[in-house]
Structure 1
Amino acid sequence: MAVEVVMPKLGMAMKEGTVSLWNKAVGDSVEKGEPIASVNSEKIEIDVESPTEGTVLKIAVSEGEGVPPGTVICYIGNPGEEIGAQTISASEQKTGVENQELSNDLNCSVNQAKARGDRVKISPVAKKMAEAANLDIEKIKGTGPGGRVTKEDVQEALKAQRELQTVQPKETRIEPQLVSAQKTQAQQVPFSGIRKVIAGRMHGSLQKTAQLTMNMKVDVTELIALQKQTADVVQKNFNNKLTVTDFIARAVVLSLKKHQDMNSALIEDKIHLFKQVHLGMAVALEKGLVVPVIRHAENCSLNDLSRSIKELAQKARQGQLSNEDMQGSTFTISNLGAYGVEHFTPVLNPPETGILGVGAVFDTPVYVGENLERRSILPLSLTFDHRVLDGTPAAAFLQTVKQYLEVPITMLI
């Protein structure tokens, strides 16, 4: 009996998931536990593994299509096995004749076209369109994931063919696929999944807020010395390693408690001043940026904060974050110091009022009284919503962060 593979629920708040990529086509054999598709919801993307060994009999949800959790996205069984009508997914039952034709295409056997001995990657719908137009699929440049030929690639080839037929004599007509390839030299990547979600949020952030960024340099010479002095004790007693980022996070949390107007959000014409600090820590992934949240950071010690930062970053890189892990932040920190960046302009994470950009520490000569000394300088960039507060209170907050970092013992008392 065919086994149903369903859209997983990626967090309690998830209402819809999208198939971003199919790793297998109809007719392909799969092993139990083998990744067969990638799905995403909001900023979370995971691989869906096959629950059994067998053959992909039917793909019920195409790439880019969003469906509720629990919806059947494909069927796996024995080769040639028929799928009973009672197992058809709810999303399929809602569609009309056009989707039924697509479903029939997806039930076709695996593509047999070869290019230099390898199978041409092409979606069933694209293959049907190409065959109907007598196009050579081996000459169509695929822009889908892994070079897969999509419906849009075939449409582009048909468009190029029509243009050539109107301007060139039949006997001298150039292959339309070659013209299409010449017009599109750059690799085309689908604008979907996490990248599309981030783009929408960032564009909306810039459109709906009055963002202003101010920069400040902090002398962290004493902080780095304290970090080195306490390294052995922290490792021995807490099995942990404190980083400069951990100290920055601690300084931000303490400063937000003193400057509540920065720990706020403008929602429906009301400024919400939060007593709790839910700290967002931006984590860069291969497919985009995610911001896991440390809840009630005001109750965390420096060591607790350090552990939470590391644990959430690890979950993010392993694709194990839930929607709840990335919701409810009241202030965000974004650190680009590892890439050698000094000052930059971070974009607000709506509906928060502030975000702190952290640059790379650099050594430079500084006058301390009458003496010229080598000091370690940390660049900070604070972006805030000018609708919620003015430059003076924002500068006061940044000044408090600076004071904590320059006299780090105050963060331990």
Structure 2
Amino acid sequence: MAQNVIMPKWGLTMKEGKVVRWLKGEGDSVEAGEPLFEVETDKITNSVESPAGGVLAKIIVPEGDVAPVQAVLGIIAAPGEAVESAAAPSGAGGAGAEAAPAAVAEASAAAPAGDGKFVPAMPAARKLARELGVDLAAVAGTGRNGSITMKDVQAHADSAFAGINASPKAIEFARKQGIDLSMVEGTGEDGRITKADILRAMNPAADQPVAAAPAARDTVLPMEGVRRLIADNMQASLQNAAQLTVFVEVDVTGMVDLRTRLLERNRRDAEYRLSYNDIISYAVCRALKRHPIMNSTLQEDGIHLHERVNLGVAVSIDKGLIVPNVKEADTFGLEELRTRIRDVAGRARKGGLSMDEISGGTFTISNVSMLGVDGFTPILNPPETGILGVGRIVEKPAVHNGEIAVRRMMTLSLTFNHMTTDGAPAMAFLRELGDMLETPGLMIV
């Protein structure tokens, strides 16, 4: 029996992926569990295994195209089994494949219209329904006790574009602009509608030639691949969380002295390295254990308080930014933690991370001190509640023990989700973290 090959979902924030390369061609034999294709997300490029053995009978999403999670990318059939030609999936769900099994078609069928009674739905689902103009009474709920989730609302909205030959970006843009794609002429491959086609339809005058003096040509960097996915995730983070940033300037002279003493103690070890970020990471783990609300994630069923700290460390790479995390970071001493942070950061730059190491984080640190920046407003890494921004250390005159002295000062910035916690608990966490860096002995109390 034919089986669909679908776009996997890696992590709570993944909405779509780009098919980078098919490792098998149409008609090739494939074994269950054998690498079948490669997917690129905003975080990683990884291979996906075949869900079944047989023959790759049909490739629906070609290399280079972007498809949402759970979209049908191809079909695997038994040798000699006839598979009907499948239409290219719509950008919002890929459910338009005509060759999909009957079970898939039944699962995607819309629920009958409601009768005006209260419809149980998650708050986030209601918000999304308002934004997309979806009647909740017409949506089938798959959540607990039939409650409607965001995925249900999105799937219902996507069904309106089933059978439309358009790119995923074009469908998303048309939905936001309220454009009827049946009235738009596609100029892409095989008549596919692109975002540019929609823009032309919205402003026909733009196609008319206008006499103008020759102008210098801009260099255009395509907004695609990892850059596009990062942009979409950052925008989604700001739209789906009530983000607030608070700042505190900390006298870290004590932390600087601690690092100096530890480096001196290990001076005979040529391989020994210890950064301020290592000490800050250790302090963050201690502070999170005392303020558990900051070590939480906001998910569809509520706020999850995590027993362990999976500490994310933002790492700059050629294509953008990636946030690997150290699992159970709160269980390690300073020396073990610094070793593990260096390990994941090093492999992040070389491209050797696993999916587990870039998902499941509970709190993130973003250190920009090496860029000479004092403070900034970091953006949350959803679904986490908090992210700490770390600025550079600057020598400044400050009052110390009643006298003006030169001290080493650092600005810390904490962005938190006001949907998950109020300002007072978040600020109490930041203040305690600052106290630990000013007086490192407090980390062991």
Report the TM-score when normalising by structure 1: 0.61
Unaligned ranges ≥5, structure 1: 1-8, 23-36, 48-59, 73-85, 97-150, 156-161, 169-173
The partner residue of 1:326 within 339, 350, 358 is: 358
| Equivalent residue number for residue 403 of structure 2 | 371
1:164–1:319: structure 2 CA closer, same or farther, 3 Å change rule? closer
Q: CA deviation at 1:45?
A: 3.8
Q: Is contact 1:46-1:319 (8 Å) kept?
A: no
**1:118-144 Cα distance to aligned partner (Å, 9 max, x none):** xxxxxxxxxxxxxxxxxxxxxxxxxxx
Deviation for aligned residue 1:236: 4.5
CA deviation after TM superposition for structure 1 residue 10, in Å: 12
Distance 1:378 1:316 in 2: 27
Q: Distance in 2 between matches of 1:261 and 1:310?
A: 27
SS in 2 for 1:333: strand
Distance 2:206 2:387 in 1: 53
When residues 38 and 266 of structure 1 are mapped into structure 2, their CA distance, relative to the original with a 3 A threshold, is: closer
How far is 1:263 from its partner?
A: 0.9
Letter in 2 for 1:254: R
> SS of the residue aligned with 1:191?
coil
Please show how residues 30-69 of structure 1 align to structure 2 within 5 Å. 40-45=40-45, 61-65=62-66
In the TM superposition, residue 276 of structure 1 has moved relative to its aligned partner by 0.9
- Per the alignment, residue 383 of structure 1 pairs with 415
Please point out which of 211, 221, 241 is paired with 1:209: 241
Which of these residues, 335, 348, 367, is aligned with residue 335 of structure 1? 367
Does residue 228 in structure 1 map to residue 269 in structure 2? Answer: no
Aligned to 1:18: 18
CA–CA separation in structure 2 for the residues paired with 1:163 and 1:388: 48
Q: Percent identity?
A: 37
**Alignment partner of 1:266 out of 298, 314, 320:** 298
Structure 2: state its 5+ residue gaps: 1-7, 23-36, 48-60, 89-192, 198-203
Partner of 2:431: 399
Match of 1:158 in 2: none
Q: Which of 315, 334, 343 lines up with 1:283 in the alignment?
A: 315
Matched, 1:243 2:244: no
Aligned to 2:225: 193
**1:244-284: CA deviation from partner (whole Å, max 9, x where unpaired):** 00011011100000001111122225221111111111111
- CA gap of 1:238–1:268, structure 2 versus 1, over 3 A, is farther
Aligned partners of 2:303 and 2:207: how far apart in 1? 62
Q: Is the contact made by 2:42 and 2:227 (CA closer than 8 Å) also made in structure 1? A: no
Q: What is the TM-score of this pair, normalised by structure 2?
A: 0.57
Partner AA of 1:218 in structure 2:
V
Partner of 1:388: helix, strand, or coil? coil
Q: Distance in 2 between matches of 1:335 and 1:308?
A: 17
Match of 1:314 in 2: 346
Spell out, residue by residue over 1:123-176, the C-alpha distance to the aligned partner (whole angstroms, 9 max, x if none). Answer: xxxxxxxxxxxxxxxxxxxxxxxxxxxx99x99xxxxxx9999769xxxxx9xx
Q: How do residues 61-210 of structure 1 correspond to structure 2 at under 5 angstroms?
A: 61-65=62-66, 94=86, 182=215, 185-210=217-242
> Computing the radius of gyration over CA atoms, which structure comes out larger, 1 or 2?
1
Checking the alignment, whether the CA contact within 8 Å between 2:17 and 2:67 is kept in structure 1 is: yes
- Structure with the larger RCO, 1 or 2 (CA within 8 Å, 6+ apart): 1
- Measure how far apart 1:235 and its partner are: 5.4
Q: 1:166–1:43: structure 2 CA closer, same or farther, 3 Å change rule? A: closer
Residues 1:369 and 1:286: Cα distance change in structure 2 (over 3 Å)? same
Show the counterpart of 1:106.
none
Q: Distance in 2 between matches of 1:12 and 1:262?
A: 20
Q: Give the count of matched residue pairs.
A: 306
Change in 2 beyond 3 A, CA 1:248/1:319: same
User: In the TM superposition, what is the alpha-carbon distance from 1:242 to its structure 2 partner?
Assistant: 1.2
Instruction: Verify the 8 A CA contact 1:343 1:379 in the aligned structure 2.
Output: yes
The CA deviation at 1:191 is 1.8
Cα distance between partner residues in 1 of 2:231 and 2:426? 27
Asked whether the 8 Å contact 1:11–1:324 carries over to 2, the reply is no
Residues 289-304 of structure 1 mapped to structure 2, 5 A cutoff: 289-304=321-336
Shift in CA distance, 375/192, structure 1 to aligned 2, threshold 3 Å: same
RMSD: 4.6
Alpha carbons 1:10, 1:322 under 8 Å: kept: no
The offset of 1:238, in angstroms, is: 9.9
Asked whether the 8 Å contact 2:16–2:66 carries over to 1, the reply is: no
